[in-house]
């Protein structure tokens, strides 16, 4: 509650003119007689110009001057904090006889669903940018530029799709942050694509390279123009931030969107928590194809099962070429399998809103066998992003994995998706990752692989390295024969 109240205070003050709002409190059932069980009340204390005895008139005048902002804030609460069914504006914290006048705005479902004018969308996006972006100076610079364009009428005739593309391009022109963007629709429209896996040809000498296009498929989101007129170059394939809702979980956006999933389906289970394949390759090499990094609160058993399946192998390949991100806690859970105990400092996240830094350490306990003292190879591409980059950057910094493939996308900032209307949201990076080994992160630069090869060749190169490792150790004759045959079947370029 305290953290939510703190955040509401920051955002409300960003939405109203300086000095218009003193503070905000968040109340629950029992704090005020008007609050029913399960409800929250957001109480806004306003600053009026009236003198003693005319609080009521002063509050009415204040509300008349800020009516549009009050309506916008009521809409946002309905979208982002559904239990806050009560929004109250008052001048003083008094109760009983002679209590200060109050203006109550109850939840209005119709208000949350009505189509917002483009001007309101832009104004709300700018206020959220100022309140939440991890780099305040850049936020102010971008906000001022967008407000100037708003005043010039640049956005007046744009539909929601065109508006999202235009704003995303302009934000990228100033901030060069691939996480920062305007997006459309609910979470289901932005989950990583999970293409069906074709059947492998029969009687293969070696396993086929993991299925999927040579250019990994990106999440289905509206794409900003490559060269928007007067806006600079926007990121071509924006993706979701860490912390987005798992498939199957209710998220922000229009209620009821999408088909309901079966009652027996757990959150995240629809795509197997991002674990696309887990198998043993010839030569006793483990292979994991990980398309996203799911939160271990739901994905823990699946992650443990995948690691158990490869626990007896001599080397492990983790394919992150199609991984678009996920949960920082999920990254910690996966990485903990490659360290002996809870003594490895993996990463930090600095939260700009509170000024606090959260440390992430390897877990002292994981629910299946750890993968220690054996080579690990992580495959990367230009499509590897966000939490996928965190995974490979952390293992590389700790010298626990060799990275093979392409330099990754370059998105290191944990991001929140904040609804603006039922159809439009803004993804705002609100924190900054810091690696304890390097002292920095991969924002804007991407994670540079140890062995740079085209993404399409990364699997063969990693498999070749893993097989040569097997041939360098003492292994049963059957395994050695598998390794020799598999290595002979690889393209010549992967033998280096």
- pLDDT tens for 275-296 read 999 999 999 999 999 999 999 9
Residues of the chain with pLDDT > 70, as a percent, come to: 80
Rounded CA-CA distance 419/352 in Å is: 20
Phi and psi for 46 in degrees, rounded to 5? -105, 160
Q: For residue 107, name the pLDDT band (cuts at 50, 70, 90).
A: confident
Kindly list the distances between the CA atom of residue 50 and the CA atoms of 57, 62, 224, 287, 397, in Å, as whole numbers in the listed order.
8, 10, 48, 70, 60
For 42, the token pair is: 């957001």
Cβ-based neighbour number of residue 270 at 10 Å:
15
Stretch among 83-97, 103-117, 200-214, 246-260 having the lowest mean pLDDT: 246-260
Helix/strand/coil for 32: strand
Residues of the chain with pLDDT > 90, as a percent, come to: 55
Q: Would the pLDDT of 187 be above 60?
A: no
Mean residue pLDDT of the chain comes to 82
pTM: 0.70
pLDDT in the model for residue 199: 33
* Mean pLDDT, residues 4-33: 86
pLDDT in the model for residue 3: 74
pLDDT tens column, 152-179: 999 998 999 999 999 999 999 999 998 9
- Give the chain's radius of gyration (CA, Å): 26
Q: Would the pLDDT of 390 be above 80?
A: yes
Rounded CA-CA distance 48/42 in Å is: 19
pLDDT in the model for residue 131: 86
The residue count for the chain: 496
DSSP category for residue 322: T
* Mean pLDDT, residues 468-484: 96
* Mean pLDDT, residues 424-436: 93
* Mean pLDDT, residues 375-379: 98
Closest CA relative to residue 16, chosen from 40, 45, 42, 52: 45
Phi and psi for 112 in degrees, rounded to 5? -65, -25
Q: In terms of pLDDT, which residue wins out, 56 or 351?
A: 351
pLDDT in the model for residue 313: 98
Stretch among 65-79, 204-218, 262-276, 329-343 having the lowest mean pLDDT: 204-218
* Mean pLDDT, residues 302-321: 98
């Amino acid at each position: 509650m305290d953290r939510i109240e703190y955040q509401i205070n920051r955002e409300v003050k960003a939405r109203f003119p300086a000095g218009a709002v003193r503070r905000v409190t968040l109340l629950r059932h029992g704090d005020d007689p008007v609050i029913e069980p399960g409800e929250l009340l957001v109480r806004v204390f306003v600053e009026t110009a009236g003198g003693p005895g005319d609080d009521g008139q002063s509050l009415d005048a204040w509300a008349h001057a800020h009516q549009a902002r009050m309506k916008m804030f009521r809409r946002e609460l309905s979208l982002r904090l559904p239990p806050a069914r009560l929004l109250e504006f008052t001048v003083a914290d008094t109760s009983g006889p002679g209590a200060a006048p109050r203006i109550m705005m109850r939840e209005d479902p119709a208000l949350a669903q009505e189509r917002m004018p483009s001007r309101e969308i832009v104004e709300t996006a700018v206020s959220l940018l100022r309140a939440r972006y991890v780099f305040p100076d850049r936020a102010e610079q971008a906000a001022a530029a967008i407000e100037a364009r708003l005043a010039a009428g640049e956005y007046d005739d744009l539909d929601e799709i065109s508006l999202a593309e235009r704003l995303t391009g302009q934000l990228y022109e100033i901030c060069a942050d691939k996480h920062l963007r305007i997006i459309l629709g609910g979470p289901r429209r932005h989950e990583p694509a999970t293409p069906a896996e074709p059947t492998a040809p029969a009687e293969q000498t070696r396993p086929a390279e993991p299925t999927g296009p040579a250019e990994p498929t990106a999440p289905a989101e509206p794409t900003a123009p490559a060269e928007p007129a007067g806006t600079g170059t926007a990121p071509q394939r924006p993706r979701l931030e860490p912390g987005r809702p798992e498939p199957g979980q209710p998220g922000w956006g229009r209620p009821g969107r999408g088909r309901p999933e079966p009652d027996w389906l757990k959150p995240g289970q629809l795509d197997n928590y991002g674990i696309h394949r887990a198998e043993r390759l010839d030569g006793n090499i483990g292979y994991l194809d990980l398309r996203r990094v799911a939160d271990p609160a739901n994905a823990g058993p699946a992650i443990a099962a995948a690691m158990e399946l490869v626990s007896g192998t001599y080397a492990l390949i983790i394919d992150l070429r199609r991984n678009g991100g996920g949960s920082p806690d999920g990254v910690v859970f996966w990485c903990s399998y490659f360290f002996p105990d809870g003594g490895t400092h993996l990463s930090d996240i600095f939260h700009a809103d509170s000024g606090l830094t959260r440390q992430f350490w390897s877990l002292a306990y994981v629910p299946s066998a750890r993968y220690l003292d054996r080579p690990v190879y992580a495959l990367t591409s230009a499509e590897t992003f966000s939490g996928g980059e965190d995974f490979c950057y952390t293992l590389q910094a700790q010298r626990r994995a060799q990275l093979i493939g392409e330099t990754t996308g370059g998105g290191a900032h944990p991001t929140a998706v904040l609804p603006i209307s039922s159809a439009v949201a803004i993804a705002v990076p609100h924190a900054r990752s810091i690696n304890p080994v390097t002292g920095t992160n991969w924002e804007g630069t991407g994670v540079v692989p140890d062995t740079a090869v085209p993404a399409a060749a990364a699997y063969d190169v990693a498999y070749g390295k893993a097989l040569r490792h097997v041939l360098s150790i003492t292994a049963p004759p059957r395994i050695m024969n598998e390794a020799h045959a598999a290595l002979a079947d690889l393209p010549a370029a992967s033998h280096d």
